[in-house]
Amino acid sequence: MRREAQAVILALLGGAMIRISVDGSYLRYLKPGMFIFVLASGVFLLVLGIIGAWSDGLIKRGGAETADASHDHDHDHDGGESVIDDGHGHGPGGPRVAWLMLLPVISIIIIAPPALGAYAVERGTTAAEPAEAIAPLPEGGIAEIPVADFVTRAVWDEGRTLKDRPVELTGFVVPRDGGGYDLARLSLNCCAADAVAAKVNLKALKSELVPDQWVRVVGKWVPGGKLNDPRAIPVFQVSELEAIDTPKEVYE
Amino acid sequence: MSQSASTKEKSGLGPVEFIIAGLVVLLVAQRWIVQWLDDPAISNFATIFVSIVLQALPFLVFGVILSACVAAFVPPSFFAKALPKRTGAAVPIAAGAGAFLPGCECASVPLAGGLMARGVAPAAALAFLLSAPAINPIVLASTAVAFPNEPQMVIGRFIASLGVALVIGWLWSWRGKGEWIKPLVRPHTDGLSKWSVFRVSAQHDLLHAGGFLVIGGLAAAVLNTIVPREWLDAVADEPILSILALAVLAVILAICSEADAFVAASLTQFSLTSRLVFLVVGPMVDVKLISLQVGIFGRRFASRFAPATFVTAVVLASLVGWWLL
């Protein structure tokens, strides 16, 4: 790999990282807290690439130009090492595997994969997370709470705080084995590779739904069902359902 | 300046033009590519791939910056003074020093390479490589948060991880051969200013580690997408099988050591001992790390180091779990 290419690859990767952190689409892959780290390392890579592209021309004159000029057209058959020899049989050029760093750039800019959805929920971990102390729901009419919070209240607190309270949940639709639908929301601990789903079973639905459709539902917890089991899925009696656009923060 | 400019002109279609042409083609074909990839399994894979790479890159950059700082600003004599001459005595000090690097495993691989290049004994640098991502304060704190009712998980993780780092470090100083590590090529930096040394070292490390991080991310995303989690439930009640299953899961999931405790906490159908094994193996051996080690230290090294570490980690963590949990 030649030096100009290295610099361009680093700058492109840096640029891609800056772009997805600034436009907020990094939230499809990471937690909000990673923003500053993605942005800062993107800036570092971009600056390193630009300075590298600019100053390598200067360094290259330091005794290597003859070798460089004579090998210019066959730089790719020597096992991927740079043609610029630094006396160790290996140049400051990178190995051929460094080209792979273009893959994340292409994935981020061209493919822009969506956030995880129903497919990941069906195959991944679904868990009702236990909690130490459960506070009462906020006062007032309809309580808007995260899906995982609802599941924890229903499964680990015998639904004490949920009895006869209308609740609003936001999540996406996952078809259930044997008919019907679940409402699910994924949460990340660090990145999408460790996503864990919280699920509720939607009852009394009047309409047909499409997998991965985002919805806001209002309804009540249905008493009964398994308790104190991390694999329990509580039941939710739906009174209102509204299809919505995918929110900016897809994970809880 | 004019010399290098004329060299570039002569080369005609170089790699840079190639990259630009490729990106133009991709931009034009974007719609068809996206359509072709419109399958839930493929897009799930792509999301996890991007996610793992994006999550690891800041830490890799952090490790590369630290390593480049060592190369540029720390004289080799510092390590000669700071570490005992006898490798056997340097190993525990290096392993203990791991507690002070607040990073995860992606940062420690390039840093260990930088330490070796600066004259630190490989056994000591490897002990540091293993202990740093497992016993630093951030990782221990996140473990404590993930297991609020089992504080002994934190203690177990600390003891078992430090133990593996010591055993592997001493094993290396006893049996390890320097020739297994590919010659630690450093960029030619004589006569450059400190900042140029920093820049050249950072670029060198990024190019050597970055491509391998991508390979590791691809492998982890494939396994994450195709291995069904139900397989896990089938072995959860078998004490020995469940330990092996979670050890293998730690290798194939390639989760950052700062987050793995939360995943371990969610695997509630498994015994605490098998989850401790998951937490000890993960920061030391996983597909992304093995790939990074191939990149920095070479294939001959990784093919010996990774299996030895895996076996040691499983055995030690099981023993600690049996004793503590």
Selected residue with higher pLDDT from B37 and B99: B99
Nearest CA in chain B to A130: B266
- CA distance to A41, A163, B102, B258, B291, per residue, from B59 (Å): 9, 46, 10, 11, 16
Residue B68 distance to chain A (closest CA, Å): 13
CB B288 within 8 A of CB B250: no
Per-residue pLDDT, A207: 78
Q: In chain A, what residues touch B188 (CB-CB under 8 Å)?
A: 86-88, 92
Residue A85 distance to chain B (closest CA, Å): 9
Q: Does B1 touch chain A (CB under 8 A)?
A: yes
Per-residue pLDDT, averaged over B299-307, amounts to: 94
Per-residue pLDDT, averaged over A208-226, amounts to: 91
User: Under an 8 A CB cutoff, do A4 and B210 touch?
Assistant: no
Q: Does A57 touch chain B (CB under 8 A)?
A: yes
Task: Kindly state the percentage of chain A with pLDDT values over 90.
Answer: 47
Residue A140 distance to chain B (closest CA, Å): 32
Per-residue pLDDT, averaged over B130-137, amounts to: 90
Residue spans of the domains in chain A: they are: 3-113, 120-243
CB B128 within 8 A of CB B164: no
Residue A41 distance to chain B (closest CA, Å): 5
Which of A119, A121, A210 is the best substitution to test chain B (most B C-beta atoms within 10 A)? A119
Selected residue with higher pLDDT from B194 and A206: B194
User: What single string gives the DSSP state of each residue in B235-252?
Assistant: HTT-HHHHHHHHHHHHHH
How far is B30 from A106, CA to CA, in rounded Å?
A: 10
Q: Does B62 touch chain A (CB under 8 A)?
A: yes
Nearest CA in chain A to B250: A194
The residue count of chain B comes to 325
What amino acid occupies position B9? E
Q: Does B11 touch chain A (CB under 8 A)?
A: yes
**Which of A59-68, A150-159, B60-69, B165-174 is predicted with the least confidence, judged by mean pLDDT?**
A59-68
Instruction: Note the pLDDT tens digit of each residue in B48-95.
Output: 999 989 988 988 898 889 888 888 888 878 888 888 888 889 999 999
User: Under an 8 A CB cutoff, do B10 and A45 touch?
Assistant: no
CB B324 within 8 A of CB B153: no
Using the predicted structure, report yes or no on whether residue A72 has a pLDDT greater than 80. no
Per-residue pLDDT, A56: 66
Strands A196-203, A235-243: parallel, antiparallel or unpaired by DSSP?
parallel
How far is A120 from B265, CA to CA, in rounded Å?
A: 19
Radius of gyration, alpha carbons of chain B: 22
Per-residue pLDDT, averaged over B140-148, amounts to: 84
Per-residue pLDDT, A1: 63
- CA distance to A17, A29, A38, per residue, from A35 (Å): 10, 11, 5
| Assigned token pair, A46 | 């971009």
Q: Does B313 touch chain A (CB under 8 A)?
A: no
Using the predicted structure, report yes or no on whether residue B7 has a pLDDT greater than 70. no
How far is A43 from A53, CA to CA, in rounded Å?
A: 15
Using the predicted structure, report yes or no on whether residue A148 has a pLDDT greater than 90. yes
Per-residue pLDDT, B81: 84
CB A42 within 8 A of CB A30: no
Q: Does B13 touch chain A (CB under 8 A)?
A: no
Give residue for tokens 């979670």. B246
User: Count of CB atoms within 10 A of residue B142's CB?
Assistant: 20
Per-residue pLDDT, B80: 81
Residue A163 distance to chain B (closest CA, Å): 27
β-strand partners of A183:
A173, A200
Per-residue pLDDT, averaged over B136-150, amounts to: 84
Helix (H) or strand (E) holding A167: strand A167-175
Q: If you average pLDDT over each of A130-144, A177-191, A212-226, B56-70, which comes out highest?
A: A212-226
Nearest CA in chain B to A39: B58
SS3 content of chain A, % helix, strand, coil (to 5): 40, 20, 40
Helix (H) or strand (E) holding A235: strand A235-243
Instruction: Note the pLDDT tens digit of each residue in A5-64.
Output: 888 899 999 999 999 999 999 999 998 888 999 999 999 999 999 998 887 654 454 444
Of residues B55, B196, B263, nearest to A34 (C-beta): B55
Q: If you average pLDDT over each of A108-117, B157-166, B193-202, which comes out highest?
A: B157-166
Residue spans of the domains in chain B: they are: 1-36, 40-324
Per-residue pLDDT, B237: 82
Using the predicted structure, report yes or no on whether residue B1 has a pLDDT greater than 50. no
What fold is seen in the domain A120-243?
OB fold (Dihydrolipoamide Acetyltransferase, E2P) (2.40.50)
Q: In chain B, what residues touch A87 (CB-CB under 8 Å)?
A: 188
Q: If you average pLDDT over each of B76-90, B163-177, B199-213, which comes out highest?
A: B163-177
Class of residue A194 by CB neighbours under 10 A (exposed 0-12, middle 13-18, buried 19+): buried
Q: Does B262 touch chain A (CB under 8 A)?
A: yes
User: Under an 8 A CB cutoff, do B54 and A193 touch?
Assistant: no
Scanning A202-221 for CB atoms below 8 A from B yields none
What amino acid occupies position B191? G
ipTM of the complex: 0.83
Q: Which are the contacts of B226, defined by CB distance < 8 A and separation ≥ 6?
A: none
CB B276 within 8 A of CB B321: yes
Selected residue with higher pLDDT from B177 and B262: B177
Using the predicted structure, report yes or no on whether residue B153 has a pLDDT greater than 90. yes
Selected residue with higher pLDDT from A199 and B137: A199
Task: Kindly state the percentage of chain A with pLDDT values over 70.
Answer: 83
Scanning B33-52 for CB atoms below 8 A from A yields 33-34, 37, 40-41, 43-44, 46-52
User: Count of CB atoms within 10 A of residue B38's CB?
Assistant: 10
Per-residue pLDDT, B27: 83
Band (pLDDT 50/70/90 cuts) for residue A85 is very low
Per-residue pLDDT, B156: 96
Residue A160 distance to chain B (closest CA, Å): 22
What crossing angle do the helices spanning A35-60 and A3-22 adopt, rounded to 10°? 160
Nearest CA in chain A to B46: A113
CA atoms within 13 A on the CB side of A171: 32
Using the predicted structure, report yes or no on whether residue A2 has a pLDDT greater than 80. no
Selected residue with higher pLDDT from A190 and A50: A50
Instruction: Note the pLDDT tens digit of each residue in A105-124.
Output: 999 988 889 999 999 898 87
Which of A10, A48, A72 is the best substitution to test chain B (most B C-beta atoms within 10 A)? A48
Radius of gyration, alpha carbons of chain A: 26
User: What single string gives the DSSP state of each residue in A67-110?
Assistant: HHHHTGGGTTSSTT--SS--SSS--SSPPGGGGGGHHHHHIIII
User: Under an 8 A CB cutoff, do B253 and A193 touch?
Assistant: yes
How far is B133 from B158, CA to CA, in rounded Å?
A: 11
The one-character DSSP state at A192 is G
What crossing angle do the helices spanning B87-97 and B152-175 adopt, rounded to 10°? 150
Per-residue pLDDT, B56: 86
User: Under an 8 A CB cutoff, do B4 and A5 touch?
Assistant: no
Strands A167-175, A143-144: parallel, antiparallel or unpaired by DSSP?
parallel
Per-residue pLDDT, B185: 62
Band (pLDDT 50/70/90 cuts) for residue B12 is low
How far is B117 from A154, CA to CA, in rounded Å?
A: 56
Selected residue with higher pLDDT from B289 and A75: B289
Per-residue pLDDT, B10: 45
Per-residue pLDDT, averaged over A56-75, amounts to: 42
